[in-house]
C-alpha cells in the first residue's frame, strides 16, 4: 500500500469524522477492518449496512405505494392486483393458497414498474453521487460508498452498475407474464447471497461491490453489531407491517368492513 503526499490527494476521497481530506491509497486486506491510510474509518459493518438497506427499502416502498395509488386513481385500473374473494363454487379442497393466476401485464402495470424502477435508480445514483455519498438510510450510520481503488466519489456508471447489481436488474422479469412469478424468489435469493458475501469478507465488500468496484466505509464508533442490527431489523419489519396495514385499509375504504362482515357470517 502506498500513500502519496498531500499534494497528490484526489478530490472526493474518503471523508473522516473530522472532515480532513484523505490521501489516495491502494487497497489491501485490512487487519482489522480499518480503512488503509484513513484513520478513524472502518469498512462498514454488515449490521449497519443491512439496517440502512432496510430503511431505504421502506422509503422506496412508501413511494411505490403513493405512485401506485395515484396511477390507479388516474387510470381506474389497480396496479396491485385484484383481490381474490373465495366462494363456495371457487374453493377447491385440493388447491393451494399459492395457486394464484398471474396478473395480466397491462399498460398501467408497465408504467408503474418503469416509474418505480426509475425512482429507485434516481434515489440511489443521486445519493451515492452526492456530497454525502450515501442514501438516507446509510446516512444514519455515517456510511459512505466510494470507489474501492482510493475512495473517490462514484462515477455515474459505477453507481448504475451497483444499483443493478443489488438485484434491480431483475425488474425486467416483471414484463414477462411467465417469468414475473419467479421475480420475488430470485430477488430474495440474490439479496441473501449479497448479505452472506458481505458478511464473510474481511473488507465487507459484497458481490455487488466487487462487480461495481466499490467499497463502503463508516466511522469506527458507528459500526453496528449483529445483535443490535437484528433488533433494529425486527423493529423495522414491524413498522413496515403497520405502514402496509394503514395504507391498505385507507385504500380499501369500506371494502374491508364488508369483508369482515362476510367472514363473520361464514363462521
pLDDT tens-digit profile of 39-72?
A: 678 889 888 898 899 889 989 988 988 888 888 8
Confirm whether 14 is domain-assigned: no
Question: Residue 207: what pLDDT?
Answer: 94
Q: Smallest Cα–Cα separation from 34: which of 8, 52, 20, 14?
A: 14
* Paired strand residues for 34: 42
Higher pLDDT, 62 or 4: 62
At residue 155 the predicted structure's pLDDT band, cuts being 50, 70 and 90, is very high
Question: Residue 154: what pLDDT?
Answer: 94
Question: Residue 263: what pLDDT?
Answer: 60
Higher pLDDT, 6 or 68: 68
Determine which of 59-73, 93-107, 173-187 has the lowest per-residue pLDDT on average: 93-107
In whole angstroms, how far apart are CA 182 and each of 110, 159, 186, 193, 204? 17, 26, 6, 17, 29
Confirm whether 196 is domain-assigned: yes
Set of cell numbers at residue 64: 411505490
Question: How many domains, in total, are found in the chain?
Answer: 1
Question: Residue 111: what pLDDT?
Answer: 85
Determine which of 7-21, 36-50, 89-103, 153-167 has the lowest per-residue pLDDT on average: 89-103
**CB atoms closer than 10 angstroms to residue 66:** 11
Reduce the secondary structure of 59-117 to three states and give it as a string.
HHHHHHHHHHHHHHHHHCCCCCCCCCCCCCCCCCCCCCCCCCCCCCCCHHHHHHHHHHH
Confirm whether 178 is domain-assigned: yes
Say if residue 32's pLDDT is above 50.
no
Say if residue 87's pLDDT is above 60.
no
* Paired strand residues for 41: 219
Q: Which helix (H) or strand (E) holds 230?
A: helix 226-252
Determine which of 69-73, 83-87, 170-174, 176-180 has the lowest per-residue pLDDT on average: 83-87
Question: Residue 164: what pLDDT?
Answer: 95
Beta 214-219 vs 144-147: how paired, if at all?
Answer: antiparallel
Domain extent, residue 154, equals: 32-78+103-266
| Coil/strand/helix, residue 41 | strand
Q: Enter the DSSP assignment of 7.
A: G
Question: Residue 1: what pLDDT?
Answer: 34
| pLDDT tens readout for residues 187-235 | 889 988 998 999 898 888 999 999 999 999 988 877 766 556 666 666 6
Question: Residue 2: what pLDDT?
Answer: 36
Confirm whether 212 is domain-assigned: yes
In whole angstroms, how far apart are CA 183 and each of 174, 221, 225? 7, 38, 31
Cα separation of 1 and 89, whole Å? 72
Locate all alpha helices (DSSP H) within 144-225, ordered by sequence.
Answer: 156-165, 177-180, 183-200, 207-212
Give residue 36's Cα distance to chain centre.
28
Determine which of 87-101, 168-182, 189-203, 233-247 has the lowest per-residue pLDDT on average: 87-101
Question: What is the rounded average pLDDT for all residues in the chain?
Answer: 74
Taking the CA atoms of the chain, what radius of gyration do you get in angstroms?
Answer: 22
In whole angstroms, how far apart are CA 170 and each of 70, 121, 174, 232? 24, 13, 8, 27
Confirm whether 154 is domain-assigned: yes
Say if residue 105's pLDDT is above 70.
no
Question: Residue 170: what pLDDT?
Answer: 85
Cα separation of 109 and 114, whole Å? 9
At residue 256 the predicted structure's pLDDT band, cuts being 50, 70 and 90, is low
Question: Residue 89: what pLDDT?
Answer: 43
Confirm whether 13 is domain-assigned: no
Cα separation of 117 and 112, whole Å? 9
Confirm whether 73 is domain-assigned: yes
The pTM assigned to this predicted structure is 0.69
Confirm whether 232 is domain-assigned: yes
Say if residue 9's pLDDT is above 70.
no
Cα separation of 6 and 121, whole Å? 35
Amino acid at each position: 500500500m502506498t500513500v502519496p503526499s498531500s499534494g497528490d490527494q484526489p478530490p472526493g476521497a474518503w471523508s473522516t469524522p473530522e472532515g480532513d481530506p484523505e490521501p489516495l491509497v491502494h487497497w489491501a486486506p485490512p487487519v482489522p477492518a480499518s480503512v488503509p491510510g484513513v484513520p478513524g474509518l472502518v469498512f462498514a459493518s454488515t449490521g449497519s449496512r443491512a439496517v440502512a438497506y432496510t430503511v431505504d427499502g421502506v422509503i422506496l416502498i412508501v413511494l411505490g405505494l403513493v405512485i401506485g395509488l395515484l396511477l390507479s386513481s388516474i387510470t381506474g385500473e389497480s396496479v396491485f392486483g385484484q383481490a381474490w374473494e373465495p366462494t363456495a363454487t371457487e374453493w377447491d379442497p385440493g388447491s393451494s393458497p399459492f395457486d394464484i393466476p398471474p396478473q395480466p401485464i397491462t399498460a398501467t402495470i408497465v408504467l408503474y414498474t418503469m416509474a418505480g424502477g426509475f425512482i429507485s435508480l434516481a434515489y440511489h445514483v443521486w445519493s451515492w453521487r452526492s456530497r454525502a455519498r450515501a442514501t438516507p438510510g446509510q446516512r444514519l450510520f455515517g456510511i459512505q460508498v466510494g470507489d474501492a481503488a482510493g475512495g473517490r466519489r462514484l462515477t455515474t456508471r459505477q453507481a448504475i452498475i451497483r444499483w443493478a447489481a443489488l438485484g434491480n436488474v431483475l425488474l425486467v422479469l416483471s414484463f414477462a407474464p411467465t417469468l414475473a412469478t419467479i421475480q420475488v424468489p430470485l430477488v430474495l435469493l440474490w439479496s441473501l447471497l449479497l448479505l452472506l458475501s458481505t458478511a464473510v469478507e474481511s473488507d465487507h465488500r459484497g458481490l455487488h461491490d466487487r462487480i461495481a468496484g466499490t467499497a463502503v466505509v463508516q466511522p469506527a464508533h458507528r459500526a453496528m453489531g449483529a445483535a443490535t442490527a437484528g433488533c433494529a431489523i425486527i423493529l423495522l419489519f414491524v413498522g413496515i407491517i403497520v405502514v402496509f396495514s394503514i395504507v391498505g385499509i385507507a385504500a380499501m375504504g369500506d371494502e374491508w368492513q364488508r369483508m369482515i362482515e362476510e367472514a363473520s357470517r361464514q363462521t
